[in-house]
């Protein structure tokens, strides 16, 4: 016998509360396990595809792990030091760039750039703030992302957790499926499938889009000769996760640096603009439709709210679970709205359709049917028998 709805809501509410309390209390401790689980989730389709080629699950997991370690080592040795160095140089150069902007505005608009001008003081204060607080900002970001646990422990635990979760992923899903309440198992499976489709369409697809655009912008800007082109491309690619923000921030930063570096060489400034314009064209017409899809159910505003709320409440661990939770809440909200629109509360008692009592009868080719003159009922007459 199924539990009443009120009892079910109480138990599900308790489960949600326990999840939030554990996330809040153990956020720093479970961070490596969350990252490892996320890696396993992203790599599970790759492992399934390798299995379909004839490899065992163990061999597929080992191959993925080896490739991931090689990529991480190459990035740590070649890419990350360059990014950090260029970011530090950009922070130190910011006051000089703003000083030249101030000189340019003073020459063109002397009335608004006098010694007591608010705009002049604002530009000067921004430059000093970036130079004094830039290093602190970078340190804070890195410490919030990686320093919540010991760095060595993080580097060791995440690959181990990812390896074993990827190896047993299908078994874990099967075991969890066996724990579902029998009355609601079909509905929960359907909702879980929709949540997985949203995450697969948005997170996996959007991460690929970010990586492709980040590499394109970084390489293209570096080849064009733009100072700090590598870090600008990385920033633009990372912010592409939020629609339009990557193009606006990365494009504005790149064009601003191009104006500072190539002033007077308008074809170089046009080249920088063309790089971002071509990147946006490829993203909007090829990458996003193919990798993400047109409707994944995560609105940018809802995504921003989820990231801000979970990041504020639970730190970096909260930001990791923000997107899956936002996807789950979006799917559940659409399910509840659909249930509401089909209920009597929405349609009213008078709008419930009456049952259709009509019966369709299929006659044999030789049978005949006629109407009774007394009652008007249909009389079926077998073949070879005369009517009474």
- pLDDT score of 339: 85
pLDDT band at 24 (very low <50, low <70, confident <90, very high): confident
Mean pLDDT of 82-106: 72
Which pLDDT does position 139 carry in this prediction?
Answer: 57
Q: Is 227 left (phi over 0), alpha (psi -120 to 50) or beta?
A: beta
Of 14-18, 153-157, 180-184, 268-272, the one with minimum mean pLDDT is 153-157
Q: What is the mean pLDDT of the chain?
A: 76
pLDDT of residue 166: 92
Compute the distance between CA of residue 308 and CA of residue 325 in angstroms, rounded to an integer: 13
Q: How many CB atoms lie within 10 A of CB 362?
A: 5
Flag the least confident range among 103-112, 232-241, 377-386.
377-386
Q: pLDDT grade, residue 347 (50/70/90)?
A: confident
The pLDDT tens digits for 122-157 are: 666 665 665 565 555 555 555 554 554 456 667 778
Q: Please tell me which residue, 68 or 22, carries the higher pLDDT value.
A: 68
For residue range 294-339, what is the model confidence (pLDDT) as tens digits? 545 567 777 778 878 887 877 777 777 888 888 888 888 888 888 8
pLDDT tops 80 at residue 160? yes
pLDDT greater than 90 at residue 283: no
Residue 149 is predicted with a pLDDT of 46
- Whether 63 shows a pLDDT value over 90: the answer reads yes
More confident residue, 148 or 343: 343
For residue 148, what pLDDT is reported?
47
Lowest mean per-residue pLDDT among 88-92, 133-137, 184-188, 291-295: 133-137
For 10-19, the pLDDT digits (tens) are: 877 888 888 7
**Mean of pLDDT values over 20-46:** 82
Highest mean pLDDT among 78-82, 269-273, 358-362: 269-273
Please say if the pLDDT value at position 203 is more than 50: yes
- Write out pLDDT tens, residues 366-385: 555 555 555 555 555 555 55
Residue 32's pLDDT band (cuts 50, 70, 90): confident
pLDDT over threshold 90, residue 64: yes
Average pLDDT over residues 225-252: 83
**pLDDT tens digits, 325-336:** 888 888 888 888
Q: What is the pLDDT of residue 168?
A: 92
Q: Which residues are CB-neighbours of 161 under 8 A, at least 6 positions away? A: 32, 33, 35, 36, 37, 40
Q: How would you classify residue 261: left for phi > 0, otherwise alpha for psi between -120 and 50, otherwise beta?
A: alpha
CA distance 47 to 101: 52
**Res. 2: pLDDT tops 70:** no
pLDDT the model gives residue 248: 84
Does the pLDDT at position 362 exceed 60?
no
Residue 241: pLDDT above 90? Answer: no
3 or 256: which leads in pLDDT? 256
Q: Which H, E and C letters describe the chain, residue by residue?
A: CCCCHHHHHHHHHHHHHHHHHHHHHCHHHHHHHHHHHHHHHHHHHHHHHHHHCCCCHHHHHHHHHHHHHHHHHHHHHHHHHHHHHHHHHHHHHHHHHHHHHHHHHHHHCCCCCCCCCHHHHHHHHHHHHHHHHHHHHHHHHHHHHHCCCCHHHHHHHHHHHHHHHHHCHHHHHHHHHHHCCCCCHHHHHHHHHHHHHHHHHHHHHHHHHHHHHHHHHHHHHHHCCCCCHHHHHHHHHHHCCCCCHHHHHHHHHHHHHHHHHCCCCHHHHHHHHHHHHHHHHHHHHHHHHHHHCCCCCCCHHHHHHHHHHHHHHHHHHHHHHHHHHHHHHHHHHHHHHHHHHCCHHHHCHHHCCCCCCCCCCCCCCCCEEEECCCCCCEEEECCCCCCC
Q: What is the pTM of this model?
A: 0.65
Res 105: pLDDT: 63
Instruction: Output the pLDDT for position 261.
Output: 81
């Amino acid at each position: 016998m199924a539990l009443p709805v009120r009892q079910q809501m109480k138990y599900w509410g308790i489960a949600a509360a326990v999840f939030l309390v554990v996330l809040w209390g153990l956020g720093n401790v479970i961070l490596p396990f969350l990252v490892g689980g996320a890696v396993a989730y992203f790599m599970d389709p790759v492992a399934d595809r390798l299995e379909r080629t004839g490899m065992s699950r163990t061999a597929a997991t080992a191959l993925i792990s080896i490739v991931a370690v090689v990529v991480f080592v190459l990035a740590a040795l070649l890419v990350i030091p360059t990014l950090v160095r260029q970011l530090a140089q950009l922070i130190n150069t910011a006051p000089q760039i703003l000083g030249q902007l101030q000189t340019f505005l003073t020459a063109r608009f002397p009335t608004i750039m006098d010694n007591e001008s608010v705009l002049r003081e604002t530009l000067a204060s921004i430059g000093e703030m970036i130079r004094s607080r830039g290093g602190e900002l970078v340190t804070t970001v890195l410490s919030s992302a990686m320093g919540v646990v010991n760095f060595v422990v993080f580097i060791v635990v995440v690959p181990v957790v990812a390896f074993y979760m990827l190896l047993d992923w299908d078994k874990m899903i099967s075991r969890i499926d066996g724990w579902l309440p029998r009355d609601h198992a079909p509905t929960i499976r359907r909702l879980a499938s929709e949540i997985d489709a949203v995450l697969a369409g948005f997170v996996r697809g959007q991460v690929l889009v970010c990586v492709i655009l980040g590499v394109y912008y970084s390489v293209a800007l570096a080849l064009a000769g733009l100072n700090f082109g590598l870090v600008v491309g990385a920033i633009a690619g990372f912010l592409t996760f939020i629609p339009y923000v990557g193009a606006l921030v990365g494009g504005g930063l790149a064009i601003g640096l191009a104006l500072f570096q190539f002033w007077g060489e308008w074809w170089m400034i046009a080249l920088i603009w063309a790089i971002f314009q071509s990147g946006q064209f490829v993203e909007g017409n090829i990458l996003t439709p193919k990798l993400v899809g047109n409707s994944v159910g995560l609105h940018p505003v809802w995504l921003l709210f989820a990231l801000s709320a979970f990041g504020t409440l639970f730190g970096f661990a909260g930001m990791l679970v923000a997107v899956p939770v936002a996807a789950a809440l979006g799917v559940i909200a659409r399910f509840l709205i659909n249930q509401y629109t089909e209920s009597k509360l929405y349609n009213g008692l008078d709008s419930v359709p009456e049952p259709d009592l009509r019966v369709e009868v299929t006659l044999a080719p030789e049978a005949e049917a006629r109407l009774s003159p007394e009652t008007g009922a249909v009389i079926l007459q077998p073949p070879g028998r005369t009517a009474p």
